[in-house]
Amino acid sequence: MKAIKNIGYFLTFLGFAFFIGSVFTGTHKVTTATYENWIQSKNIKSEYFINHTQKAIVDQQMSTWELSQIILDQAKASNQYQKSQPKTDWSKIIHLKWSKTSKDFIYPLARASVIGWYKQHPTLWFLITFGFAILGGLMIFIPNYKLLGPAGIKNNGIFQHSATNKGIIGFITAFFFMAFYVLLYFFPNYIINPILSVNGINQFLSGNDAGQWFLYGVMYCSVMTVFAVRMFIKYRHNSYQLLRTTVVLFFQIAFGFLIPEILVAFNKPWFDFKNAWPLNYTFFFDYNINNLLNSGHLGIFMLVWGIALTVIIVPIMVYFYGKRWYCSWVCGCGGLAETLGDPYRQLSDKSLFSWKVERWLIHGVLVFATLMTALTLYVYFAHIESWKVIAFGISAYDVQTWYGFFIGSIFSGVIGTGFYPIMGNRVWCRFGCPLAAYMGFVQRFKSKFRITTNGGQCISCGNCSTYCEQGIDVRAYAQKGQNIVRSSCVGCGICSAVCPRGVLKLENGSDTGISRTQVNDILLGNDMDLLSMTKKNS
């Protein structure tokens, strides 16, 4: 068993080593046709740039670094040249910005011009990266079935291991997570070889070449699958966890990955039916609305569905089941947090201070998302071009860009996932997700969901609080005999699973009021006479 585990570690390591090793090592050869296509699609007007760059790159073999650098240098030189002209032609200026240039400008050319071994051997390349990592991961986790002993809570050593207690391994892991997101969001031109490892799958699914988001999708599903297997073994005694993990995995693979890709294969818009506004903040962006409006009946249905999801389905479901139906049964972000993130759940901060920060941040993001969307819709219906300045020198496009950059990319991705090994697995869900904030209101004030505290049985041990990924001090309620009704609870059920005294039960009661939130002065088990108010004669 131990041996299988060690081989698993080795294989995983190898898979990741190949994967990471191939980053930055792309080889490119730009043909004239590719080049011209690119120039056209990027709408480049500067002859200076077109001619110089063509000379420098077309029909020459070079690395991604060289290619990217040449394009950047030429763009800068071209801009300088244009500005040095007696009359600057602004349409010939190439706008450069670090967070956009690589991904929007350089990446398409780099992606189209890649050559080399990775491109020629897609299957083998897939097998020695994804194949090794997935197989290795399974070999690491499956032996736990025997190694951890009989089914039950086995959190042994979690706070004594570097990977799960903010040790050096934890920080290295965090670094890799963050680096991956930075490359993915801002510099996809450097991860073209990794992208090629899943090209075959994309070809098979929709006949298209894979891009960075397809790579991300495959990684997401693979990681979730491997770590779901880990969950299945770790919580094999707990039907709630088994069912929840199965469902959230299903929703990710089917709704978050396969269905959108299949839609694309049929020339329909890429659409994730479970992604509700305001988490899906681009839903009301003009290009999305127009895209849906131009996609026939299905497009209209998607538009109506998307609105109904936010306005009707989400609040009704939260009323009956709490926000857990979404956050830990359906949502993709939640799905990753509950699988890949599970080993890190204990790192969320439980202090009152962090609860204060949480409330400011998450509600701040909700306000930001709402204002941004309101502005977007305003310019849409008022037929104002989105790049037109509206007030204070700011356009709707600017606001969208800021939101996309700070919230959509940095917060939800780089920090949200990157910080798993440091701040726990729900950094985004707890501090950032505007949909969670919205559902939180419903859950807190009008829902049947509560975590019932079992009378006076709590021994204040603290397992529940420690393993609450949302940083809720569950014990603070349980030891007072009070139910846990908190807007941030995502209903993962782990507090209930780890409680050694059977104190906590997630349930949807019959009412939304008194049975949920009643507070007693003393706990069940104390029959002292509370009515006798006779004062001692002193």
Partner 1 sequence: MKHVVIIGNGIAGVTAARHIRKKSDYHITIISSETKYFFSRTALMYVFMGHMKFEHTQPYENWFWKKNRIELVQAYVQKIDTTLKKLVLNNNTTITFDDLIIATGSTPNKFGWPGQNLKGVMGMYSKQDLDEINRYAKDCKRAVIVGGGLIGFEMAEMFASKNIPVTFLVRETSFWNKVLPAQESEMINKHIKEHHIDLRLNTNLIEILSDEHGRAKAIVTDKGETISCNLVGLTAGVSPNISFLKNSDIKTDKGVLVNRNLETNIPNIYAIGDCAEQQSVIGERRPIEAVWYTGRIMGETVARTICGIPTKYSPGHWFNSAKFFDIEYQTYGWITALPKENEARFYWEHKDGKKCLHFNFDKISRKFIGINTLGIRLRHQLFDRWLTEEKSIEYVLEHLKDANFDPEFYKQYEEEIITKFNSENGTTLTAKKKSWKRIFA
Residues that bind ligand SF4 (CB under 6 A): 451, 458-464, 468-470, 472, 474-475, 478-479, 484, 489-495, 499, 501, 503-504, 506
- Minimum gap (Å) between residue 393 Cβ and ligand SF4: 42
Length of the chain: 538
Query: What does 494 bind: partner 1, ligand SF4, none (CB cut-off 5 to 8 Å by kind)?
Result: ligand SF4
Position 524 contacts partner 1 (CB under 8 A): yes
Nearer to partner 1, 236 or 363 (CB): 236
Residue type for position 356:
K
**Subset of residues 275 to 304 that bind partner 1, contact rule: CB under 8 A:** none
Which residue in 134, 341, 141, 164 sits closest to 229, CA to CA? 141
Query: What does 50 bind: partner 1, ligand SF4, none (CB cut-off 5 to 8 Å by kind)?
Result: none
Name the one range near partner 1 by CB under 8 A: 328-336, 388-396, 420-428, 505-513: 505-513
Rounded Cα gap, residues 36 and 301, in angstroms:
38
Query: What does 404 bind: partner 1, ligand SF4, none (CB cut-off 5 to 8 Å by kind)?
Result: none
Query: What does 492 bind: ligand SF4, partner 1, none (CB cut-off 5 to 8 Å by kind)?
Result: ligand SF4
Among 60, 69, 80, 155, which residue sits at the site for partner 1 (rule: CB under 8 A)?
155
Q: Which residue has the tokens 């244009």?
A: 82
Q: Write the DSSP string, 264-299.
A: HHTTPPP--TT--TTTSTTTTSHHHHHHHHTSHHHH
Rounded Cα gap, residues 181 and 183, in angstroms:
5
SS3 assignment, position 425: coil
Name the one range near partner 1 by CB under 8 A: 132-140, 235-243, 364-372, 402-410: 235-243
Position 149 contacts partner 1 (CB under 8 A): yes
Rounded Cα gap, residues 430 and 486, in angstroms:
12
Rounded Cα gap, residues 35 and 403, in angstroms:
33
- The 64-103 site mask, x for binding partner 1 (CB under 8 A), equals ----------------------------------------
Nearer to partner 1, 291 or 454 (CB): 454
Helix (H) or strand (E) holding 451: strand 449-453
Position 319 contacts partner 1 (CB under 8 A): no
The alpha carbon dihedral of 337, 340, 345, 348 has a sign of negative
Q: Which residues pair with 504 in a beta bridge?
A: 453
Query: What does 269 bind: partner 1, ligand SF4, none (CB cut-off 5 to 8 Å by kind)?
Result: none
Query: What does 470 bind: partner 1, ligand SF4, none (CB cut-off 5 to 8 Å by kind)?
Result: ligand SF4
Query: What does 386 bind: partner 1, ligand SF4, none (CB cut-off 5 to 8 Å by kind)?
Result: none
Taking CA atoms, 174 is separated from 180, 354, 446, 470, in Å, by 10, 20, 37, 19
Nearer to ligand SF4, 189 or 479 (CB): 479
Rounded Cα gap, residues 450 and 426, in angstroms:
20
Position 456 contacts partner 1 (CB under 8 A): yes
Among 40, 239, 267, 294, which residue sits at the site for partner 1 (rule: CB under 8 A)?
239
- Minimum gap (Å) between residue 342 Cβ and ligand SF4: 11
Half-sphere exposure of 204 (CA within 13 A, CB side): 7
Rounded Cα gap, residues 483 and 429, in angstroms:
22
Q: Write the DSSP string, 7-64.
A: HHHHHHHHHHHHHHHTTT--EEEB-HHHHHHHHHHTT---HHHHHHHHHHHBT-EEEH
Instruction: Give the pair of three-digit tokens for residue 493.
Output: 């059920």
Nearer to partner 1, 116 or 456 (CB): 456
Query: What does 476 bind: partner 1, ligand SF4, none (CB cut-off 5 to 8 Å by kind)?
Result: partner 1
- Minimum gap (Å) between residue 479 Cβ and partner 1: 6
Taking CA atoms, 361 is separated from 144, 364, 429, 517, in Å, by 39, 5, 11, 25
Taking a C-beta distance cutoff of 8 angstroms, is the pair 170, 421 a contact?
Answer: yes
- Minimum gap (Å) between residue 321 Cβ and ligand SF4: 12
Position 479 contacts partner 1 (CB under 8 A): yes
Residues engaged in binding partner 1 (CB under 8 A):
149-153, 155-161, 237-240, 243, 351-352, 452, 454-457, 459-463, 465-466, 475-476, 479, 493, 496-498, 500-502, 505-507, 509-511, 515, 521-529, 532-536, 538
